[in-house]
């Protein structure tokens, strides 16, 4: 993919990864020619277009399937673009899905790593089981509290021992009880954070049922609840954790604001998936941009850790704290079936 991005003009060979990794345009051209052009009878640019189209479509298909399986329309979402190549391919993926807005978070190139490193010390233990909270056939609520409480206690003990082995103080250890629940034999289950860590009486059981009903309704729509089918617990899960000091991102000073976008550092010809002819593309250095700057033409913004590609039909606005917003110029109104069909057809190229 990096070869294709370089061949299409998006990457600067001498400035990739802040100049720490030098890209060889000649080797890129040779690699694409030897592996694709000779067999397919196309130019390097055409082959690079097909690579980008295929990669963007594969990502779009993955997002589409995950959302549609849950009954969601991708066009109603804001896409989150992170990872080293997230801002470089976000517009292409959003074009296929019909998404109109993309958020690039601060620290986008190491977004997952920052999140993992900034988590509290945590261990999760769970156990699968078949337990009716409400048996609709017998019209009976759960009354065997001891079985439930023993399982929770064993999972808490396992998590506590893990944390103690890591040198955590016993007094600092906390637990959170989660339950995977469903109505009857439905395939879909909903994770519920239990309002209590132990079941002691009927009030605790009713409180758990109420929480499940609220969470289910929030997820699938009010009125979709089906207690008449029975209510089951499929998994008991205990998160054992210690709250440690974390990075406070609100304390990071903004970069300053400016309503005047500086001139680009250079202009080059780049190729895009739509259209055969090259397009004059402005190149900016991220260090010269401030919050409030808006770039509304095909552009590339270079930073030491990632590359932002503003494709035709999009604009980019720099936000505070190193974030940025991609916004489509003109909302997508095509039926979702068209977007799905486009994603599937592109993926077969």
Give me the CATH code for the 120-242 domain, please.
3.30.1490
Q: How far apart are the first and last CA of the chain?
A: 15
Integer Cα distance of 101 and 347 in angstroms: 22
| 243 CB-near residues (< 8 Å, 6+ apart) | 120, 172, 174
Q: Which of 299, 289, 288 is nearest to 326 (CA)?
A: 299
Give the distance from CA 149 to its chain's centroid.
Answer: 35
Name the 3-class secondary structure at 24: coil
Integer Cα distance of 109 and 112 in angstroms: 8
Q: Across the beta sheet with 190-193, what order do the strands follow? A: 140-141, 121-135, 231-242, 174-183, 190-193
- DSSP letters, 62-84, are HHHHHHHHTT--GGGS-EE--ST
Which stretch of DSSP H or E encloses residue 280?
strand 279-285
In tens digits, what is the pLDDT along the chain, a chain of 349 residues? 999 999 999 998 888 888 888 899 999 999 999 889 988 899 999 999 999 999 999 999 999 999 988 788 999 999 999 988 899 999 999 999 999 999 999 889 999 888 888 888 999 999 999 999 999 999 999 999 999 999 999 999 999 999 999 999 999 999 999 999 999 988 889 999 999 999 999 999 999 999 999 999 998 888 889 999 999 999 999 999 999 888 777 777 666 777 788 999 999 999 999 888 999 999 999 989 999 999 988 999 999 999 999 999 999 999 988 899 999 998 655 444 444 444 443 332 2
Q: Answer yes or no: are the C-beta atoms of 7 and 48 closer than 8 Å.
A: yes
Relative to beta strand 266-270, strand 231-242 is: unpaired
Q: Where are the domains of the chain?
A: 2-113+255-347, 120-242
């Amino acid at each position: 993919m990096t070869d294709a991005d370089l061949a299409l003009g998006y990457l600067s060979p001498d400035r990739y990864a802040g100049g720490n990794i030098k890209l060889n345009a000649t080797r890129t051209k040779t690699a694409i020619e030897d592996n694709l052009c000779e067999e397919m009878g196309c130019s390097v640019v055409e082959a690079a277009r097909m690579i980008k189209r295929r990669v963007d479509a594969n990502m779009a298909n993955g997002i589409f399937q995950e959302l549609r399986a849950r009954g969601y329309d991708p066009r109603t979402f804001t896409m989150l673009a992170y990872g080293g190549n997230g801002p470089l391919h976000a517009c292409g993926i959003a074009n296929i899905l019909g998404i109109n807005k993309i958020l690039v978070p601060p620290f986008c190139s190491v977004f997952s790593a920052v999140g993992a490193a900034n988590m509290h010390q945590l261990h999760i233990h769970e156990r699968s089981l078949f337990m009716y909270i409400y048996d609709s056939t017998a019209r009976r609520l759960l009354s065997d509290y001891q079985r439930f409480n023993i399982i929770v206690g064993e999972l808490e003990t396992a998590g506590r021992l893990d944390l103690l082995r890591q040198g955590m103080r016993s007094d600092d250890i906390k637990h959170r009880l989660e339950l995977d629940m469903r109505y009857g034999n439905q395939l879909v289950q909903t994770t519920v954070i239990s309002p209590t860590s132990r079941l002691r009486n009927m009030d605790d059981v009713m409180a758990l049922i109420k929480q499940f009903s609220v969470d289910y309704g929030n997820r699938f729509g009010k009125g979709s609840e089906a207690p008449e089918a029975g209510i089951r617990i499929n998994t008991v899960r205990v998160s054992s954790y210690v709250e440690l000091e974390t990075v406070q991102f609100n304390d990071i000073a903004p970069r300053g604001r400016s309503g005047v976008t500086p001139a680009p550092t250079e202009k080059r010809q780049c190729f895009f998936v739509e259209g055969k002819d090259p397009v004059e593309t402005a190149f900016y250095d991220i260090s010269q941009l401030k919050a409030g700057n808006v770039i509304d033409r095909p552009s590339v913004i270079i930073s030491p850790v990632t590359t932002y590609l503003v494709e035709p039909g999009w604009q980019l606005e720099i936000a505070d704290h190193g974030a940025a917003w991609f916004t489509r110029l003109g909302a997508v109104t095509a039926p979702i079936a068209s977007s799905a069909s486009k994603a599937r057809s592109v993926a077969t190229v």
